[in-house]
Amino acid sequence: MQFLKKILIYFIGTIFNKLIIFILLPIYTRHLSPTDYGNADLSITTVTMLVSLLYIEVWTPLLRLSYDKDDSTHKAKVYCNSVIIALICTPIYIGGCIIMGVWQNLPYMVWMILYGLSILVMHILQFEVRAIGDSKDFMISGMISSVSQLILSFVFIYVFHMGAQMILISPAISNFLAALYIEVKYKLILLIKKSFYSSALAKQIVRYSIPLAINAVAFWAMTNINRYFSRAYLGEEANGYIALATKFISLINTLVQIFSLAWQESAYEHSNNADRSSYYSNMLKMYIDLMSVGTVLAILFTNILFPYFIGNAYSATQMILPIYYVSAFGSAISSFYGHIFNAEKKTDILLYSTLAGAGVNILLLFMTINKWQIYAVPIALALGYCVNVAMRAFSIGFTVKIKFDIKRIFFDILQMTIACILIYANVHLLIKALFIIISSAYLFFSYKRILSGIVFKLKNGKRSY
């Protein structure tokens, strides 16, 4: 129940942001050309990579090392040292933005820097709130950021027609507003004290972070580097189609992020338990079922709604979406294993698998992009994730024993395959709707007993109240 409660809180805190992005798509696709939208979105992609690399994912050890001791002073010291490391990294990050902006001829360089700083501040404060144990304020800050972004984007782009740079400026302002809420309530700046600095703790944070940062770059090479290939080989307009596709797969990424936020803490909490192998195995089975059905629903619903939701200039995006959704499924499973390795403090394993996946992705792009054109981008990405997940599934056995339900995994993959066939065969709408019902029913009846237990506990809770 505690895990489900965390999922609910993170669902509310995260879903707003994803819904806002989705709600804004009609505004973006009707007021911005594919070229302008693609360039702005590529700037966001670049900033996201630079923040993870050059700030060495410092917020992740902030949360993980806070769980080593159930002591407020220890948590404060971890926070203080994490902030100091982030401050030291800031000039390097600014330099990285300038280099990438000039090299790739990206517009909006100043706004790229501002947006990245807002991500850093937001991550550090939100992860500290989670480390303290108050996930409700994580939820509230996420809602503040989301609603602010919706209002600002609507006003800047729809009302005042201020252009694609607002895709960077609006979320930057929104992130700072959400961070301000956390700071006003918790006054975390007071935790930054000279007496809390510890060179030993700072070194521990850096040692933990560096493999994560390198892994982040490798992960970027496995995913977002495709955008640079698309821009170079297929042109800026094609990059706009791919940018839109990545926004649609945020439907899957939303489920991943919601689950991962709760799963990350749960994995850390169980990392020292003797029965963690059984716990990890059960969670993996449930996760694969959930994500496969979510992928099926996303593929079919998107295909049905796309013509009514997106401007005609972006119609080419529709046919690459099913493959992108499958790659998002691979990303979800990869993320699940990643949190186990983080909990077990085996972060170096993550790097090898991500590098292998990135290598496959880049090699396939070189070999196929001229022949398969825009389809090569999601296909290479999906196959890169296949290699990544296979390596992590194999490597996990050297850390903790995980049991795999092969029959269920096969059936989950079959569902996604059928959903893709229905799209590319252009079958009747009723057949797509029928398969949506079948897939949803499969998930419901698979977990009917668990759902009944949850309902029973909720009813008893209300009665006792």
Give me the tens of pLDDT residue by residue for the chain, a chain 465 residues long: 555 566 566 566 566 666 777 778 888 888 888 888 888 988 998 998 899 889 999 998 898 888 888 888 999 999 999 999 999 999 999 999 999 999 888 888 999 999 999 999 999 999 999 888 777 888 888 889 988 998 999 899 888 888 889 999 999 999 999 999 999 999 999 999 989 999 999 999 998 888 778 777 777 767 778 888 888 888 888 888 888 888 888 767 766 666 666 655 666 666 666 677 887 888 888 888 888 988 999 899 988 888 888 878 888 888 899 999 999 899 888 888 887 887 777 767 777 888 899 899 999 998 999 999 999 999 999 999 999 999 998 888 887 788 888 888 899 999 999 999 999 998 999 999 999 999 999 888 887 776 676 565 556 654 443
User: Cα 342–186–70 angle (5° rounding)?
Assistant: 45
C-alpha 198/C-alpha 218 separation (Å) is 30
Give the pLDDT confidence score for residue 464 in this predicted structure.
44
Q: How many other C-beta atoms lie within 10 A of the C-beta of residue 198? A: 15
Q: CA nearest 389: which of 353, 340, 349?
A: 353
The DSSP output letter for 396 is G
Q: Which residues contact 100 (CB under 8 A, 6 or more apart)?
A: 46, 50, 106
Q: Which residues contact 53 (CB under 8 A, 6 or more apart)?
A: 96, 213, 214, 216, 217, 220
Give the pLDDT confidence score for residue 465 in this predicted structure.
39
Q: Which amino acid is at 88?
A: I
Q: CA nearest 346: which of 187, 208, 205, 200?
A: 208
Return the domain boundaries, the chain: 1-213, 223-465
Question: Has this prediction a pTM greater than 0.75?
Answer: no
Q: Is the dihedral of CA 309, 116, 84, 347 positive or negative?
A: positive
Q: Which helix (H) or strand (E) holds 437?
A: helix 429-446
- Number of helices (H), then strands (E), in the chain: 18, 0
Q: Is the dihedral of CA 305, 307, 310, 314 positive or negative?
A: positive
Give me the torsion for CA of 112, 116, 118, 120, rounded to 10°.
-170
Contacts within 8 Å (CB) and 24+ apart, 448-455: 454/1, 454/4
| C-beta separation of 374 from 316 below 8 A | yes
Q: Which helix (H) or strand (E) holds 143?
A: helix 135-153
Give the pLDDT confidence score for residue 32 in this predicted structure.
86
CA distances from 444 to 257, 384, 441, 452 (A): 22, 31, 5, 11
Q: Which amino acid is at 224?
A: N
